[in-house]
A and B are shown apart, each in its own frame.
Chain A
């Protein structure tokens, strides 16, 4: 599905602010994988997502999506395959437009024509789809999205992303800005949609328990590198303390080897 080869990203190269955000990452995401991604702030998770979706140009390496090299293709074109949801609930919807107008934009990916697709049957379909969010949005099709709460907006974003039929989902801490109850609702919907539409998924989370509970694979990032890649079987017996211990021991090894370099 997605193959990343020797990917690297350096910000402000050649200046005093030069910063390596991603250091030669290789990653093979198989069809149907649901990978959780953990790592501390600045470990390169978001940069990795920005590179995959095409927000930033890469410094080196290749991104291969469905066997095609998309390293230099623009973000909007990759969006046909990749659906991305951000932490900020306002990023996925247009606040100044009604729910139905938002949904019709998401309904079919790509450039739009002069046809009028928003008709009674579409409205009925949108209502049915909105019902599964159980947030009462099905009765508010004509309300502006700006009037909705953060949880409602994120659930709507999720629904719109799924309606646009991507093959792959990139979830960038998409429940982190919500209160616990809404976060739970959105997370339940997410897993429901992922299994129903068999979406290949990468999910960044700061919730270690979520990282362990969801998905069939877990990767941990640090300093722009993937330092841990656990399969389904390895995840099975994993607990949060074990995961933290693994992280610390890997960090220690690095630290020790750094020390080795300093002593003659």
Chain B
């Protein structure tokens, strides 16, 4: 049984795509960039040493799960959420929701999603997808990263939903519960932008926001000492490209999607300054893409000497400078 009228749509990012999909199915005409922007999805964080990571890494979006909670606050939509200790109960509840024709989003460990080739799969507990039905014991999965719906056997879905470790999903599922009669988009957009500016400019944590970018620029010079050998370093440097472009960001580490949000927000709020800023952010995004390309190139050529890493560091620092100016202008434009 596949849920009636459920339309699978590809999206740039799994969490914003999943939420957009549930809202669209419920009858709310909203785009992924609007969901992302209102939920203050844009972010930056650098993690130099964390026990859960093998190597230093960075993030370009806010905390997983926060898009949903921010959106609930700002649009007054309600999602019903569930988490479980008992996998049997967790799977039974999902089946019951599907029987009631309710498309249900699930948080899973991407590693067990065996509709993805094995070499692409990594352990990451914060992948979101929509379970859109069940046929002959297999779950019908609407994963925003794939052009078509996929099938997944129950055991793999259960392993993914109940994986342990950092940010373990604990069987977490949610579905749309209630849409408000009216939405004040003006207020929601303003709040979303203000919070994003706070995250980028003022959050009092040295490895987050613009401060995080500068830390990344400094610390990338130390990356060789964390690597097993040149091939490992090459792999990690090339991952910069993956994290910015391929890992569901819509390009340039979400900068292009946020620019799209600002363009749509300009029309909805009647604030032309946001349109100008959206163009500026597109250009800033081009700079991030240059970083992606540069990282991929030096990684592939194993050209990873101190001079190249210094060049990379300067490029990241440059992004920190332009984004600091950008978010200050954005903050001013919205106040």
A and B interact physically:
no
A interface, CB within 8 angstroms of B: none
